[in-house]
Amino acid sequence: MEIGRELNAASRQRIEASFARQGLMGLLGARLLRVETGLVTIALPFRPEVTQQHGYFHAGGSSTIADTAGGYAAMTLFPPDSSVLTVEFKLNLIRPAQGQRLEATGRVIKPGRTLTICQLDVWGVTDDGRTHCATGLQTLIRVAGET
Amino acid sequence: MEIGRELNAASRQRIEASFARQGLMGLLGARLLRVETGLVTIALPFRPEVTQQHGYFHAGGSSTIADTAGGYAAMTLFPPDSSVLTVEFKLNLIRPAQGQRLEATGRVIKPGRTLTICQLDVWGVTDDGRTHCATGLQTLIRVAGET
Amino acid sequence: MEIGRELNAASRQRIEASFARQGLMGLLGARLLRVETGLVTIALPFRPEVTQQHGYFHAGGSSTIADTAGGYAAMTLFPPDSSVLTVEFKLNLIRPAQGQRLEATGRVIKPGRTLTICQLDVWGVTDDGRTHCATGLQTLIRVAGET
Amino acid sequence: MEIGRELNAASRQRIEASFARQGLMGLLGARLLRVETGLVTIALPFRPEVTQQHGYFHAGGSSTIADTAGGYAAMTLFPPDSSVLTVEFKLNLIRPAQGQRLEATGRVIKPGRTLTICQLDVWGVTDDGRTHCATGLQTLIRVAGET
């Protein structure tokens, strides 16, 4: 496995189709930005509907797209007849989440037949660059069945 | 401090006003169910817009309302001129999140002048009862300024 | 499964034998205090050899006995031909760990065929009572083979 | 701040002196391997006294040296009159911890006046190379007073 290697078209389509079925991604306005082997990035554009009380991105926005990115990063490594569930994740919110959009990356750091471990990172992105605003770890389990 | 004790009206209003300013709570359709000293519960009604790819509640829905519940649970213990930020949280997703609504409770287990620690729990609720679907821990920091 | 129910003698002996093979428990001077269904408590007596730089119990002492207690709590629920590995754990150190001994309890909050989730708690114990000094969550996986 | 930059002699001595006061480091036979700005590595040589029931390094060994490495990594960034406490840490045990020694590195990923966040990593080291066996995140708080 080589993290970041180009993914075959069938796996990519499988993940795009699964993403499209996630009602919450549509509600938030999140979109798949990058789908590679063991590495997925999701973007969440800023708008008042995704904020907390001070006008920054809500930590729930960060955790939602980070969790989803990690789940699909794991799924890129799975056979077609299997799906993924998040067992647990932990996120440190290290800076205020602000910018034109958030970008969350899930990166597999330990693939496995049963369990996969991902590193999660979230950045606030503006025209001038990006700022690391959250980092975390996620444990996922592969399950047989629908994707 | 007595967890679960009735909260004074001023603190309650302060938290309700802050909750109302969270754009993401409105977008999700989440609402404050219970606000007591060191203990806050938030409900998230089911609808397709809050699901993941298999039709269950998205883990991001659980984590968003759990994080928010814990934040306000901590804030019930703070003086009026201070606010709260999540430092980090960890959530174990122990069962599929399903039901007519989710209910997330944040409960302060260690108050502090600087840091507060909350236990987070999420249940899937139906007419027949409720099922524990996630549990976690959260570290919060008190900051001076707007609530 | 009823957490805290008396454990059968064979399971108890299996756990005591496994504990006795843990070199680190012997080095620390830790001992099994309580072994029940889904619930195990381990004690670590105070001595200078288990301290950090300020003379309190080292957080590593807390985490070591908490991790072990959770592992055996899970193992009480397993068939005899299986063992347990810690997948991950998270611990909040909520008060200084001090006293004549630490007591760490692992309690199964979600048993499973593959994964088991435990709550971990550590107390500092003196003649006058006990103080909650750490709380955490742990994910364990059942593996076939030696115990 | 430049992580990995050479540390001044006074800070280095302060950390070595603090490490020497940790009774548990002596009991385990752990030693400071590398002390740089925001980056500390601690080694734990293998011996039966640091094992779990299957003869591998005990997860408590990994977590103890990882927690300590992160604590001192944070302390390299602090003024002389302040000390550090672990608020919480989370560790994923991704492979069996084995080898001639473990090496744990704490690396500051977010320094702060009050809170510092470290990434923790543990490797099993043999003559042939090293294997990544654990990764984690740690939140630390700076406190005034003795080091």
D5 vs chain C: nearest CA distance in angstroms?
25
Query: Which CATH number fits the domain that encloses residue B51?
Result: 3.10.129.10
pLDDT at A73 over 70: yes
pLDDT at B146 over 80: no
Numbered residues of chain A with Cβ closer than 8 Å to any chain C Cβ? 87-88, 90, 114-115, 137, 139, 141
pLDDT at B114 over 80: yes
Residue B115 has a pLDDT of 98
Q: What is the pLDDT of residues B5-55, one digit of tens each?
A: 999 999 999 999 999 999 999 999 999 999 999 999 999 999 999 999 999
The overall average pLDDT reported for chain B is 96
Q: Which residue type, as a one-letter code, is found at position C87?
A: V
Residue B2 has a pLDDT of 86
Q: Which of C90, C137, C141 sits opposite A115 (nearest CB)?
A: C141
pLDDT at A140 over 70: yes
Tell me what the mean pLDDT of segment A36-47 comes to.
98
Tell me what the mean pLDDT of segment B96-115 comes to.
97
Residue C78 has a pLDDT of 92
> What's the per-residue H, E or C state across chain A?
CCCCCCCCHHHHHHHHHHHHHCHHHHHHCCEEEEEECCEEEEEEECCHHHECCCCCECHHHHHHHHHHHHHHHHHCCCCCCEEEEEEEEEEEECCCCCCCEEEEEEEEEECCCCEEEEEEEEEEEECCEEEEEEEEEEEEEEEECCC
Task: Report residue B29 CA to chain centroid gap.
Answer: 14
Residue D41 has a pLDDT of 98
CA A100/CA A46 separation, integer angstroms: 5
Locus of tokens 């302390």: D75
Residue C147 has a pLDDT of 58
Measured between CA atoms, the residue of chain A closest to residue B50 is A24
Interface with chain D: mutation pick from A87, A94, A107, highest number of D CBs within 10 Å: A94
Q: Determine what percent of chain C is predicted with pLDDT higher than 70.
A: 98
Domain assignment of residue C2, yes or no: no
Residue D4 has a pLDDT of 86
Domain assignment of residue B3, yes or no: no
Tell me what the mean pLDDT of segment C105-121 comes to.
97
Tell me what the mean pLDDT of segment B50-71 comes to.
97
Q: Which residue type, as a one-letter code, is found at position B133?
A: C
Residue C4 has a pLDDT of 86
Tell me what the mean pLDDT of segment C136-146 comes to.
91
- Please tell me which chains touch C, using 3 or more CB pairs under 8 Å as the contact test: A, B, D
Distances (CA, A) of A119 to A40, A110, C145: 11, 9, 30
Interface with chain D: mutation pick from C13, C24, C117, C141, highest number of D CBs within 10 Å: C24
Phi and psi based region of residue B6 (left: phi greater than 0; alpha: psi -120 to 50; beta: remaining): beta
Residue A61 has a pLDDT of 97
Could A87 and C139 be called an inter-chain contact, meaning their C-beta atoms sit closer than 8 Å? yes
Is pLDDT larger for residue C130 or for residue C145? C130
Residues of chain D positioned with their CB less than 8 A from the CB of C60: 24, 60, 63-65, 67-68
Q: What is the pLDDT of residues C76-103, one digit of tens each?
A: 999 988 999 999 999 999 999 999 999 9
Residues of chain A positioned with their CB less than 8 A from the CB of C90: 90
- The range of the structural domain enclosing residue A47 comes to 9-144
Tell me what the mean pLDDT of segment B94-105 comes to.
97
List Cβ neighbours of D56 (8 Å cut-off, separation of 6 or more): D96, D97, D98
Tell me what the mean pLDDT of segment D23-49 comes to.
98
Domain assignment of residue D36, yes or no: yes
Read off the pLDDT band of C50 (50, 70, 90).
Answer: very high
ipTM of this complex prediction, to 2 decimal places: 0.95
Read off the pLDDT band of B4 (50, 70, 90).
Answer: confident
Measured between CA atoms, the residue of chain C closest to residue A138 is C88
Numbered residues of chain D with Cβ closer than 8 Å to any chain B Cβ? 87-88, 90, 114-115, 137, 139, 141
The overall average pLDDT reported for chain C is 95
Measured between CA atoms, the residue of chain D closest to residue A95 is D110
Residue B145 has a pLDDT of 76
Q: What is the pLDDT of residues C52-79, one digit of tens each?
A: 999 999 999 999 999 999 999 999 999 9
Tell me what the mean pLDDT of segment C117-123 comes to.
98
Domain assignment of residue D59, yes or no: yes
Residue C1 has a pLDDT of 67
Q: What is the pLDDT of residues A87-125, one digit of tens each?
A: 999 999 999 999 999 999 999 999 999 999 999 999 999
> What's the per-residue H, E or C state across chain B?
CCCCCCCCHHHHHHHHHHHHHCHHHHHHCCEEEEEECCEEEEEEECCHHHECCCCCECHHHHHHHHHHHHHHHHHCCCCCCEEEEEEEEEEEECCCCCCCEEEEEEEEEECCCCEEEEEEEEEEEECCEEEEEEEEEEEEEEEECCC
Residue A133 has a pLDDT of 98
B138 vs chain A: nearest CA distance in angstroms?
9
pLDDT at B1 over 90: no
Q: Which of A58, A67, A86 sits opposite B22 (nearest CB)?
A: A58
Residue B127 has a pLDDT of 96
Could you tell me the maximum CA-CA distance found in chain C, to the nearest angstrom? 44
Q: Count up the domains in chain C and report the number.
A: 1
pLDDT at D145 over 90: no
Could D119 and A110 be called an inter-chain contact, meaning their C-beta atoms sit closer than 8 Å? no
Domain assignment of residue C1, yes or no: no
Numbered residues of chain B with Cβ closer than 8 Å to any chain D Cβ? 87-88, 90, 114-115, 137, 139, 141
Check: pTM over 0.95? Answer yes or no.
Answer: yes
Domain assignment of residue B117, yes or no: yes
Domain assignment of residue A104, yes or no: yes
D137 vs chain A: nearest CA distance in angstroms?
7
pLDDT at D134 over 80: yes
The overall average pLDDT reported for chain D is 95
Q: Determine what percent of chain A is predicted with pLDDT higher than 70.
A: 98
Query: Cα D115–C98–D142 angle (5° rounding)?
Result: 15
D128 vs chain B: nearest CA distance in angstroms?
36
Read off the pLDDT band of C144 (50, 70, 90).
Answer: confident
Could A28 and B27 be called an inter-chain contact, meaning their C-beta atoms sit closer than 8 Å? yes
- Please tell me which chains touch A, using 3 or more CB pairs under 8 Å as the contact test: B, C, D
Residue A145 has a pLDDT of 76
How many other CB atoms sit within 10 Å of the CB of residue B1?
A: 9
Residue B147 has a pLDDT of 58
Domain assignment of residue D66, yes or no: yes
Residue A147 has a pLDDT of 58
